[in-house]
Structure 1
Amino acid sequence: MNNLCVAHRGFSSLAPENTMAAFNMAMERPEVQWMELDVQLSRDGVPVVIHDFTLERTTNGKGRVKDTDWAALKLLDAGSWKGNNYTGERIPSLREVLDRCCGKVRLNIELKTQGDMYPGLPAAVIYEIRKRHMQHDVVITSFEPAALVEVKKLAPELQTGLIIDAKPGDLLAALQQMHCTFLSIGYTNVDKALMRQMHGAGIQVMAWTVDDKASMKKLAAIDSDVMICTNRPDVWEEAFEETSSRFFRP
C-alpha cells in the first residue's frame, strides 16, 4: 500500500479540525505528506481556515464567517468543543498555516464557497501562495466550478481540482473544460474504470474521507495512485503496516 496519506483538516479525529493543533499533530507523523484544509474570507478580506460557513459548531462564536472581521475571528475559542485540552485553540489565518507548512508538507486548499459568496477568495488565496513561492506545493480544490475557473484565469500555474461526491458520465469532459488536473471524489465512487479514465487524462485522484482500514485497503487494491484523505492518519499507518507485512514476511 503506497497510497499517499492526506490528513483531512489536519489530524482531525484527535485535535479540533482546521486548527494549528490538528495541523501540527498531523505533521508529526511521517506518513502524512499532504494535508487538506478549508479557506473562507473574513468580512475584511483575510483568508481564514475554517470549514463551516457559520461559527457555532467549531467555535464559541455566532453568525457567519463572512460577516465577522479577522480581529474578532482570531479571538474565538476553536478548540473547547473537541476537549478541554484544546481550550483556547484559535481559528488560523491561511498565512499562518502556509508559513508553518512551507517546505514540510503539501496542501490541498479547498475554497469554501457557494456561487458568488466570496468573489475575492481566489485572488486572496493566490496572493498568499505566490508570496511564499508555494505554487508547486499546493492544489486548489472546490465544489464550485466558477471558483476553479477563476483560479486558472488568475494563476494558470496552479493545479486545480473539482470536488464531487458522484460519478457523472461527463465528469472527464467537465474536468478538461475547467483545465483541472486533480479530482477530489467521495471514496465510494472510486473504481478501476474511473482510475483508468483519469490516468489516461493525466488527472490525479484523491478519495475522501476514509477512516477504516478495510476501505483503505480496498482503495489501495484498486490503484496505488489513489490519494487517501482521512481523519485518521493512525489508521492509515495500521493499514500500511498490515498490507506491507503480507509482502515482506520472512
Structure 2
Amino acid sequence: MLDNPCVAHRGFSGIAPENTLAAIRLAMKIPEVQGIEIDVQLSRDGVPVVIHDFTLGRTTNGSGTVREHTLSELKRLDAGRWKARAFAGERIPTLDEVLEEVRGRLRVNIELKTNKQTYAGLASAAVEAVRRCGMEERVYFTSFEPGALIEARQAAPYIRRGLIVDTRSADLDRRLDEYGCTLLSIKHGRVDPVFVRSTLESGIGIMVWTVDRIRRMRELASMHPELMICTNRPDRWLLARRLPLLNRPNTRRRWLGF
C-alpha cells in the first residue's frame, strides 16, 4: 500500500480553482491528505494573499500584477469562474484565511513567490500571519529565491524552511545548509531511489512535485515511505493506495490514462 504523505498542490487544484478556499476545502474532504501547498504574494498594501502567478489574468477576471492592487481591489475579483461555472464568485484568499481554515487539520507548505526585485518583506509578513494563527509548528516556508529563505530565517528561525529546485545542482547540499533548510522540494523527474534515500538519511525531508499519474505515484512511493508526494489530484493518490499492483495486465489497461 502507498503510505507516503500526500500534499495537495494549491489545494485540490485538479478539480477546483487553485489556491482558493474551495480547492482547500475539497482537499480536506480526503482524510488521508496530510498537507497542502499554497503560494503567497503581497498586495499593494502589504497583506499576504494566496495566488500563484505574479499577474492576474490567468486565474482571475482581473489584469495587471498582484502587487499593483490593494487587498480590497483583489477581493473584488472572481478567482473561480475560469475553472468552472460552479466556482464563480470564489475570491483570492488571504494567508490568514487559509491558515484559519486548515488549523488543526493540515500542514501547510507556504511557497514565498518572489524574486530579487519583488516583495521585500514578504517572508516577514507571512511569519506574522503564521504567528497570529498559532501555526508555527505546522508550516514550512519554501522558495526558489534564497533571499526569501534568508529573510524567513531572520524573522523566525524556529519555523522550518525548504528550498525549491527543478534540477539537482552539484552545490545542492551547500545551498540547503547555507539557507538553513530542512526540506527539499524538487521536480519529481529529478529523483531516483539512491538520491531520495541519501537525502532523507542526511536529515533533509524531501517532497516531489507535481505528480498526477497513478503509475508515477507508485514508482515514487517505492523509493521511500517518507517521500512526500505533491499532487493536483489527491483523488488519484487515493486510488494509487487502493488499486492492486499496476503490473497486473487488466489493471494496467484500465488505468493507463492516469
TM (normalized to structure 2)? Answer: 0.93
**Paired AA for residue 126 in structure 1:** V
CA distance in 2, matches of 1:216, 1:172: 26
CA distance in 1, matches of 2:154, 2:47: 21
- C-alpha deviation, 1:244, in angstroms: 8.2
Q: Which residue number corresponds to residue 52 of structure 2?
A: 51
Percent of matched pairs sharing the same residue: 51
CA distance in 2, matches of 1:11, 1:229: 11
Q: Which residue number corresponds to residue 25 of structure 1?
A: 26
Unaligned runs of 5+ in 1: none
CA distance in 2, matches of 1:243, 1:161: 34
Q: Which residue number corresponds to residue 39 of structure 1?
A: 40
- C-alpha deviation, 1:196, in angstroms: 2.7
3-state SS in 2 of match to 1:216: helix
- Name the count of aligned residue pairs: 246
CA distance in 2, matches of 1:244, 1:150: 45
Superposed counterparts of 1:40-79, under 5 Å: 40-79=41-80
Superposed counterparts of 1:110-189, under 5 Å: 110-189=111-190
CA distance in 2, matches of 1:105, 1:124: 21
CA distance in 1, matches of 2:38, 2:181: 19
Structure 1 residues 172 and 73: alpha-carbon distance in aligned structure 2, compared to 1, 3 A threshold: same
**Paired AA for residue 143 in structure 1:** F
CA distance in 1, matches of 2:183, 2:214: 24
**Paired AA for residue 110 in structure 1:** E
CA distance in 2, matches of 1:39, 1:46: 10
Root-mean-square deviation (CA, aligned residues, Å) is: 1.4
Deviations 1:1-33 (A, max 9, x none): 111010000000110000010000001111211
**Cα pair 2:197 2:223 within 8 Å, conserved:** no
**Cα pair 1:172 1:198 within 8 Å, conserved:** no
**Paired AA for residue 71 in structure 1:** S
Deviations 1:105-158 (A, max 9, x none): 110000001113001101100001112221110000001011101111110101
- Hey, which bits of structure 1, 4+ residues long, moved more than 6 A? none
CA distance in 2, matches of 1:199, 1:184: 12
- C-alpha deviation, 1:193, in angstroms: 2.2
**Paired AA for residue 134 in structure 2:** H
Structure 1 residues 29 and 177: alpha-carbon distance in aligned structure 2, compared to 1, 3 A threshold: same
**Cα pair 2:215 2:246 within 8 Å, conserved:** no
**Paired AA for residue 63 in structure 2:** K
**Paired AA for residue 118 in structure 2:** M
Q: Which residue number corresponds to residue 196 of structure 1?
A: 197
3-state SS in 2 of match to 1:48: strand
**Cα pair 2:197 2:224 within 8 Å, conserved:** no
